[in-house]
Amino acid sequence: MTGGCTRTAVLTALGRVPDPCAAAAGLDLSIVDIGLVYDVTVDQDRVEVALTFTELGCQFTHRIVADVTDSVRALDGVEAVRVRPCWSPPWSPDRLSPRAVAALAASRRGYSMAPRAPRTVLLQIPTSGGDVGRYT
Whichever domain contains 87, its CATH number is 3.30.300.130
Listing DSSP states for 64-84 in one string gives HHHHHHHHHHTSTT--EEEEE
Residue 120 within a domain: no
Q: Which residues have CB under 8 Å from 10's CB, separation 6+?
A: 40, 42, 47, 49, 72, 75
Residue 119 within a domain: no
Measured CA to CA, the distance from residue 104 to residue 21 in angstroms comes to 12
Domain of residue 45: give its range: 7-113
pLDDT in tens, 45-60: 999 999 999 988 889 9
pLDDT in tens, 57-95: 889 999 999 999 999 999 999 999 999 999 999 999 999
Residue 70 within a domain: yes
How many structural domains compose the chain? 1
pTM for the complete prediction? 0.75
Residue 127 within a domain: no
Residue 129 within a domain: no
pLDDT score of 4 = 76
Residue 130 within a domain: no
